[in-house]
Every structure is written in structure tokens, then in C-alpha cells.
Amino acid sequence: MGENPLPADGGRRLVGTRRLLVAGALGVLGTATALAASVPAGAAAGTLGAAAAQSGRYYGAAIAAGHMNDSTYVATWDREFNAVTPENEMKWDATEPSRGSFRFTSADQIVSHAQSKGMKIRGHTLVWHNQLPSWVGGLSASDLRSAMTNHINNVMGHYKGKIYAWDVVNEAFADGGAVGTLRSSVFTQKLGNGFIEEAFRAARAADPNAKLCYNDYNIDDANANKTRGVYNMIKDFKARGVPIDCVGLQSHLSSGSVPSNYQQNIAQFAALGVDVQITELDIGGSGSAQADAYRRVTQACTAVPRCTGITVWGITDKYSWRSGDTPLLFDGNFNKKQAYTAVLDALNAATPNTSPSPTTSPNTSPSPTTSPNTSPSPNTSPSPTPPVGGACSATIETTNSWPGGFQSTVTVRAGSSAVNGWTVKWTWPSGQSISSLWNGTQSGSGSSVTVSNASYNGSIAAGSSTTFGFTANGSAATPTATCTSP
């Protein structure tokens, strides 16, 4: 790939170098750890996390619970990083090895350690074709849909309030093919391409305060087909009010393969109104070539206000998933590599990040635009009327349809008071019938439908909302629904 297109900024580099010298001297005096907590104005930080924090960013590492008995590993994590992503412990095979049986021991180990150190925690990952327990492959479409929603609800529910950002869907796009082509997986085969949207909607309902990310590799080049596909999906989601807050660029790279338009790529995603996070950075190589590549990636992030943080996919080369490429910032003996210094220098040289980084707030103003093949269609625009008093309202939206059937999402919104338990009713106009329903409990039959909350989503804060969904037989319909709360 080409050389770094970023404008040379000798001034910043000089400042960064001076800061490093100061940091080095302070480190000798044994105060580097203290600097991690707060860095005096004008001084350089001596650790990655503290340096990133100066511009309002985080610097994280993927951590494996299985290595937490290595004291140097944990000490390096604690000293250098202010964020973490569990490397494997939150994946579907780890958290729900058999259907409905959830296991969080290893992930909890990482989460509680991170919390005790005040670190940000990225959740990785909820819906991914890989590291999927075998029982998922045998499900029917309606079973898979409810299993996916149930998995999201339980895992996000377990960590509710503790996770900064979730990789809701991971690696759904294909590596080849036309723009917008999804990878064939159990999810596309049984649920269709709309599974991504369904997952994001369920995720928003499960933890409204976590940022919701789409995460993928090989979306680092601004013009690659795969990148364009993800870009179009996010643009469409934002236009239609499908909840999404961030895109994760995994960035598994090698020294020669950092795209020349990497910064432009970050900027184009940010311009869609989402945060950009570099989520799994590792760069194969060594010496100055590797250091230069790391510097370019770091500078590309710090140059874009909505690039909010970087996570490297491991701490030491010896535990890396691609160990033979020596792709990380610390060697096998936890010595800082040249790449480490380049990153620290670049982080220290960044100007403070003043960009607003709004937390999640479901967008309820859809305005359909182009429909890449990841979006269910047709889409009808809900226009929820805010209820008054303690009442609730419900709006039915068609999110997918096919000959003889359709799929809908129902948004249940609380008024100016919190709701504790809700019941939504409507009447089908022409013989429709629900075939599968999730995030709610159906009673009755025939043309009059009654759906009450599930055990986990009955409480809705004032002004907030939750959703349930269903697939149905018949032609798509969006009857007026009423909502009552006891």
C-alpha cells in the first residue's frame, strides 16, 4: 500500500518528542504510574492510557482470562491501558454453551478487574458466525430468531450499565462480491439479511446506555467494496432510525498494508454520525517499519474527533493470536517495542478531543433512503405519539416482508411517568396471524392480538421505550395499537 498521506506535522512531532523525554525522566523518578491518573497541562504522559486520555480517548487491550495468572501480563495491562476487550470470554460459545444456560465466570473475571481499575469495557461480541455453539446451527428460523434475541438480552442484561460499547454484530460482510454482499451464515440463511437490524434493535432495548457498534475486518481501505457495504448499511440505519452508535475497524494489518486513505476512511464513517473505534489493532512486522505503521494508524485516529479510542488485540507478542507476526507493542518478555514509543509519541502529540460523543439515544425519525441489502424492506415509518401521564403508547412498524408473510417491530414507549408492566393490543385487518413473537408474551388468538411484556422488559423509564417483534402470516399490515399499563 502507499505511504502515509497525512500532512507532515513537524511541530506536533517535536512537541511529542519533548513530552516523551519529560515522561522518561519522570518514569526514572518512579512517578509514571501517578501520571496515568492525571497529567499536568503541558506534560507528556508516560503510559498509553494516560496519553490517550489527554485527548479524551481510551487506549485498550484485548485480555484473555486464561493469562491473568501471569503477573507481568496483569501489571502491564494495569499500568498501560485504560480500557479492555475480553478476547474470547463474551462470545456466544463461552457465554451460552447450551441453549438458555448462561456462563459468565471468565468474562466476569476480566470485567471486575477492569472495573476495579476504572477502565472502559468493550463487549465482544453478541452475534457472530464464528465461535458459535453447535446447537445454534440446528434451530429453525423462528427458534433462531428468539435464541438470538434471548442471547442478546441475557448477555447484555448481565453486564447492563458496565459496558461502554458492544460489538453487536461482528464480521457479517463478505470479503468478496459486490458492494453490500453479506457473508453466508446461519443468520443470513435462516433470518435473511435483516438479522443485523434485528440484532441492533434488540441490543438497544437490552441496554439503552451502551454504545452499539458494527465491527469488522478489512474495512480499513476507504474505497474497498467491503468498506462501501458497511458504509451504506450505517448510512441506511441512520436514515431509518435503526439504532447504531459506532463502527469498529478491527485493523488487523501488517506494516506494509496500512491503506493510504486510512484517515479518510475514519473520517467518512464519522461523517455519518457514528463514533469510530479501532477495535482489534495489530500490525505484523518489526522495527521502524512497524513503528511507522502504528504511528500512522494512531495519528489517523487522533486527527478525527469522533475516533474515540484504540484497542490493540493483545499485550504481548507471545500471547497474540498471530504470534508469528510479532504484531503487538510489547515483545515476548513484555519489553516495550519501537512501535510502543511511536504510539505513545503520537498520542501525546494529539490535541484535546472536544468533539461531542453523544451517548445512545434511539433515533425515532426514520426517513427511508437507499436500501442496501442489509436492511429489511419495505419499511413503514412509525410516528409514535408521546403518551401523557403514566400511560404508554405502541407503534407497529413493518421491518421486512415477503410473499405471504412479514416481520414487524413494535415500539412501546412510556409517557412522562415510568411504566411497570404493559399490554399492547391491536386487531388484524385481514386475517393475519403471528407465527413467532419475541421480547413479549402473547395471549388470545384470532384477529384480536394481546401482547404483554416479557419478564425482563416490563419496566420502562419515563420517556424511554422498549421493543418487541414478531413474524406473521398474511400481507404486511400496521394496525393502530393501544397500550395500557397497570
Enzyme catalytic residues:
171, 280
Spatial CA neighbour of 209 closest among 175, 162, 174, 173: 162
Contact 15, 45 (CB under 8 A): no
User: Which of the residues 133 through 172 are near ligand G3I (CB under 6 A)?
Assistant: 170
Of the pair 321, 428, the CB lying nearest ligand G3I is at 321
Shortest spacing between CB 145 and ligand G3I, in angstroms: 23
Among 80, 207, 280, 397, binds ligand G3I (CB under 6 A): 280
Binding mask 69-108 for ligand G3I (x = CB under 6 A): ------------------xx--------------------
Longest dimension (CA), the chain: 79
Among 112, 131, 189, 383, binds ligand G3I (CB under 6 A): 131
Binding mask 369-408 for ligand G3I (x = CB under 6 A): ----------------------------------------
- Peptide bond before residue 125 is cis, with ω within 30 degrees of 0: yes
In this structure, the strands spanning 392-402 and 405-414 are: antiparallel
Residue 480 is a binding residue for ligand G3I (CB under 6 A)? no
Question: Rg for the chain (alpha carbons), in Å?
Answer: 24
Contact 391, 483 (CB under 8 A): yes
Contact 451, 427 (CB under 8 A): no
Rounded Cα distance between 267 and 453, Å, is 41
Of the pair 132, 303, the CB lying nearest ligand G3I is at 132
Residue 109 is a binding residue for ligand G3I (CB under 6 A)? no
Binding mask 111-130 for ligand G3I (x = CB under 6 A): -------------------x
Of the pair 122, 238, the CB lying nearest ligand G3I is at 122
Residue nearest to ligand G3I (CB): 321
Report the amino acid identity of residue 133: P
Could you tell me the CA-to-CA distances from 205 to 153, 237, 306, 466 in Å, in that order? 8, 16, 24, 5
Residue 323 is a binding residue for ligand G3I (CB under 6 A)? no
Of the pair 168, 414, the CB lying nearest ligand G3I is at 168
Shortest spacing between CB 131 and ligand G3I, in angstroms: 5
Shortest spacing between CB 403 and ligand G3I, in angstroms: 37
User: Which of the residues 210 through 269 are near ligand G3I (CB under 6 A)?
Assistant: 217, 250
Question: What is the side-by-side strand order in the sheet with 405-414?
Answer: 392-402, 405-414, 465-473, 433-438
Report the amino acid identity of residue 223: N
Of the pair 171, 221, the CB lying nearest ligand G3I is at 171
Residue 277 is a binding residue for ligand G3I (CB under 6 A)? no
User: Which of the residues 432 through 461 are near ligand G3I (CB under 6 A)?
Assistant: none
Of the pair 6, 68, the CB lying nearest ligand G3I is at 68
Cell reading at 121? 469495557
Angle of helix 225-240 relative to helix 195-206, nearest 10 degrees?
Answer: 50
Contact 415, 428 (CB under 8 A): no
> 156: how many CB neighbours lie within 10 A of its CB?
22
Shortest spacing between CB 107 and ligand G3I, in angstroms: 13
Q: Which residues bind ligand G3I (CB under 6 A)?
A: 87-88, 130-131, 170, 217, 250, 280, 321
